[in-house]
Structure 1
Amino acid sequence: MLIEDEYIRLIFGLKLKQIRTEKKLSLFGLAKLTGLSKSYLNEIEKGKKYPKTDKIILLSEGLEVPYDHMVSLKLDKNLAPIGEILQSKILKEIPLDLFGIQENNLIDIIANAPAKVNAFISTIIKIAQNYNLTRESFFLASLRSYQEAHNNYFEDIEEDVEKFANAYHLDLNKKITSTDLEEILVEEFNYKIDTEELAKHNNLNELRNIFIPKKNTLLISKDITEAQKTFIYAKEIAYNFLTIEDRLYTFPWIKFESFDQVLNNFIASYFAGALIIPKQNLVEELKTFFDQEKWNSSTFQNIIDKYNCSAETFYQRLTNILPKQFYIKNLFFLRFTHKLNSEQYKLTKELHITQQQAPHGNRSNEHYCRRWVSLNSITELEQLKKESAFGIQISSYENSDNEYIVLSSATSDPFKRDQNRSVSIGLLISPNLKKRLQFVKDKNIPKKIVGVTCETCSVKNCSDRAAEPWRIQKEQQNESIANSVDKIINTYT
């Protein structure tokens, strides 16, 4: 294995700092002892510089440590876990810069309390292993955190969409079609569109497109809808107009090489959604809709139908617009999938703005509450054999004062056979929401008390229950035992 210069610098810096602190020397004191400047020593300890041989000799003599020990890459037991972390390159995988964290600062934190921090890191790794946290899910969790930190609204991308529309004289007041975008891809970006190749490969029936960069060719499935084709073209335009080179080449994606590819896929998808559903148009329509005192599902569907998009694209776009334009920030987005004749519902995508709203994903294979409108809309779709189903519900959580108004749309899964899915958006009912959405007060909207999972739900006599509440029963049992023990102790004291 080739050892990188950066790794060697970091290890030397960590060892120097450890030796200096063990000898109770400040950087100023070490500078006086060796004749080297304080700023230079600081850069060495932070892994920014590696000293030349004569400087290492000065450090070795001043600290009374053998030269060979100074330059050895072997670390003592306190620093050994840090060496393992650095060699594993895990810090390169974590998108630290998105959260304003410098790698050297993180290493410095670890070095200051190696035993405790390494124990913490080991704990996180064990939890990740127990819950099957993959590199993929780690990157997607990082992306969600990035979105949530920005309330899922990115002004720079919104502005890029307007610049693109102006540059190519695209009228955003009209419904964007695949024909509009295909012409730009072919004429401006020299794309070749192939609708025949994917059909020749039976094992690729779940892919909608493949981009071949060397040939500048887009292979696209014949079976996709007009909305899907428009979204794919819009993403390709984003990659080109924003000059994004480190990208994914399939939709849906099947693998990625780095977090940058995941982030760039999100940027292109955001651009596509903002192009197909322009911000200003949607804001005006929502203002009118929110002023209605009675909920009307037909009016809501009519708004969606004005755009050449899927229900998922529309609901995702709401998560951009509602926090920024309407100050509705306590919301969540969920996507569930369900295979026909299966008892399991999978939460395959989630986003929580402002706080970790319930419900949220769990990795313990528990049964999600069957009272959720997200699951009920799928059930309605399957039982009535509809092409699409819609549901609305006010959900009240057991043992919580929080209420959410939740909208959900279900369709067949466009990427998998014999599988259906729903997308939902939930808004926390607050004084602000009641001012913004007049129809929240509509008494015809069904209300339900819900849980998170059946195993943790204390709702009694639930006819929709898919599993016994063994976890909450265990908690109650432990609490009862603890109370009895306290009584016994108090009796004797």
Structure 2
Amino acid sequence: MKLQEDVIRLIFGLKVKQLRTDKGISLTDLATATGISVSYLNEIEKGKKHPKPSKTAIIADALGVSYDYLVSLKLNKRLQPVGELLQSNILSELPLEHFGLDMSRVLDLFATAPAKLSAFVNTLLEISRAFDLRVEQFYFSALRSYQELHDNYFDDIELEAERFLEQYQLEEETTPTFEELATILQNQFNITIATNTFDAHPELATLRSVLIPGATPQLQLNPTLTPHQKAFALAREIGFQYLQLRERPYTSTWVKVGSFEEVLNNFKASYFAGALLLNQDRLVEDIQQFFAQDKWRPELLLQLMEKYNTSPETLLHRLTSLLPKFFGIKQLFFLRFQHQQATDSYYLTKELHLSGLHNPHASFLNEHYCRRWISITLLEQAEQDEHLANILVGLQRSSYINSDNEYLVLALAQPAENRHGTVSIGLLINENLKNKVRFLNDPAILNRLVNETCERCPAPDCLERAAPPLILEKQLWQEKLTETINGLIKGR
């Protein structure tokens, strides 16, 4: 069923219901006047049926309007926001099916309370304009919700990765090499690998890879990539091809987002790459051994990255899938920070929160993230050492001020030219985590009180504070003022 047909039926039904209600006509009265059954009229008003022209003319006469008005897509001012929403392409882009919804339920909602929904939709549009929320932000938020809904573990893609290894006779006990992946990509999918496009176009320097489609597609790799970054780029491209994901981006970094399907397929291809390069059975065994250590041993993480020839981000992001599934550690978050040298700005460029944990969270209000976070601490350490060549590893128990939440946060920092970055994974400390991680109480682990942003932090003696607590002070002023006014009212 095409969306446009749904829209025509729904707008027609909204008009019929609004006119009937405004005139104080019941469905039974309208049925008597038109000779159309109550049940059929009810289906019309819900946007499920659209009458033939002859019956439409009869309904128009009974409601006292012209035929042309009733069949047009124009709505009055009260319902205009809903009409604009219905006639836009937003509904067609909503990933409803991924959240167990279908269009018929949405249409029922519009038909049940159109005026109230109109006001609600108008409010959402005003909020989006005020905060300059773009469509792609909505897509990425929808993807994160989709991941959270599934605890970021997808059996179907894991099985496809296993089938791929078996089909192309790759050993599960070893990580596929760049050479093996390149051979498969070229021989099985007719995609060649090159680097010359990056040499000829300096403006592409921020991208890791670009696929140039054609009779003989080319996967152009940025020549500055590390070996594990190159392997991941190939594995991701194999994911697109092997999973037959047609609607997709052609660049590794988003330049322009076309649809939610592109965002979802990009995630699936990346998830496939992680599952292919970091076999779940092998990695689960290694994580079990890591958690079983009596003491915190950061060198074991570096050994894991070397064993799987992987990057800090790929390793930690893979853990967000395996820890919930195999360890029952579902309350966790993943963060990726970047920092431009010689500035005081830290950017949260990627995040994932499972089980409703939303602190810390990305701030779109230009607030200063807490400088006590291990992620930012490692960034500062990396920048202090101009000759840093190795990955920095940090572990911290972070307790949130005025909250019962405490996290075990593992962070990895990797040096990069002009722009350092860290990735971190935070695990909520509860009884399950205490049973799983033996080194949790190692005195070598740093314990710190943290908050989300400086503007909201009550800590009076914070040496790392980057901004005064303006938002907190305003909240306290409002509370004090409310308390005073309530006291005056009660005293009368």
User: Does the alignment pair 1:222 with 2:207?
Assistant: no
- Asked whether the equivalents of residues 395 and 450 of structure 1 are also in contact (C-alpha less than 8 Å), the reply is yes
User: Does the alignment pair 1:101 with 2:101?
Assistant: yes
The alpha-carbon deviation at position 352 of structure 1 amounts to 0.3
| Residues 143-292 of structure 1 mapped to structure 2, 5 A cutoff | 143-214=143-214, 215-292=216-293
The alpha-carbon deviation at position 63 of structure 1 amounts to 4.2
What TM-score results when the alignment is normalised by the length of structure 1?
0.93
- CA distance in 2: counterparts of 1:373 and 1:281, whole angstroms: 28
Measured at CA, do residues 242 and 39 of structure 1 come closer, stay the same or move farther in structure 2, by a change above 3 Å?
A: farther
The alpha-carbon deviation at position 400 of structure 1 amounts to 0.6
Structure 1: state its 5+ residue gaps: none
- Asked whether the equivalents of residues 82 and 117 of structure 2 are also in contact (C-alpha less than 8 Å), the reply is no
SS state of the match for residue 129, structure 1?
helix
| Residues 71-470 of structure 1 mapped to structure 2, 5 A cutoff | 71-214=71-214, 215-385=216-386, 386-387=388-389, 388-413=391-416, 417-470=417-470
1:120-149: per-residue Cα shift (whole Å, max 9, x none)? 222222222232211121111111111111
The alpha-carbon deviation at position 235 of structure 1 amounts to 1.1
- CA distance in 1: counterparts of 2:99 and 2:28, whole angstroms: 32
Q: Which amino acid aligns with 1:407?
A: L
The alpha-carbon deviation at position 449 of structure 1 amounts to 0.3
- Asked whether the equivalents of residues 405 and 428 of structure 1 are also in contact (C-alpha less than 8 Å), the reply is yes
User: Does the alignment pair 1:475 with 2:475?
Assistant: yes
- Asked whether the equivalents of residues 457 and 469 of structure 2 are also in contact (C-alpha less than 8 Å), the reply is yes
1:264-307: per-residue Cα shift (whole Å, max 9, x none)? 00000000001000110011111111111211101122122211
- CA distance in 2: counterparts of 1:461 and 1:139, whole angstroms: 40
Q: Which amino acid aligns with 1:145?
A: S
The alpha-carbon deviation at position 88 of structure 1 amounts to 2.5
Question: Larger deviation: 42-51 or 193-202?
Answer: 42-51
Question: Larger deviation: 424-433 or 69-78?
Answer: 69-78
- CA distance in 1: counterparts of 2:281 and 2:39, whole angstroms: 53
The alpha-carbon deviation at position 24 of structure 1 amounts to 5.9
- Asked whether the equivalents of residues 330 and 357 of structure 1 are also in contact (C-alpha less than 8 Å), the reply is no
The alpha-carbon deviation at position 64 of structure 1 amounts to 4.7
- CA distance in 2: counterparts of 1:28 and 1:306, whole angstroms: 74
- The Cα RMSD (Å) is 2.1
Q: Which amino acid aligns with 2:45?
A: E
1:298-345: per-residue Cα shift (whole Å, max 9, x none)? 112212221121100101000000011101011000011100011010
- Asked whether the equivalents of residues 79 and 118 of structure 2 are also in contact (C-alpha less than 8 Å), the reply is no
Q: Percent same amino acid among aligned pairs? A: 45
Q: Which amino acid aligns with 2:239?
A: A
- CA distance in 1: counterparts of 2:21 and 2:327, whole angstroms: 53
- CA distance in 2: counterparts of 1:49 and 1:491, whole angstroms: 61
What TM-score results when the alignment is normalised by the length of structure 2?
0.94
- CA distance in 1: counterparts of 2:382 and 2:212, whole angstroms: 37
- CA distance in 2: counterparts of 1:286 and 1:24, whole angstroms: 68
Measured at CA, do residues 62 and 131 of structure 1 come closer, stay the same or move farther in structure 2, by a change above 3 Å?
A: closer
SS state of the match for residue 464, structure 1?
coil
Q: Which amino acid aligns with 2:274?
A: G
Q: Which amino acid aligns with 2:410?
A: L
SS state of the match for residue 484, structure 1?
helix
- Asked whether the equivalents of residues 181 and 233 of structure 1 are also in contact (C-alpha less than 8 Å), the reply is yes
SS state of the match for residue 308, structure 2?
coil
Measured at CA, do residues 412 and 134 of structure 1 come closer, stay the same or move farther in structure 2, by a change above 3 Å?
A: farther
Measured at CA, do residues 26 and 392 of structure 1 come closer, stay the same or move farther in structure 2, by a change above 3 Å?
A: farther
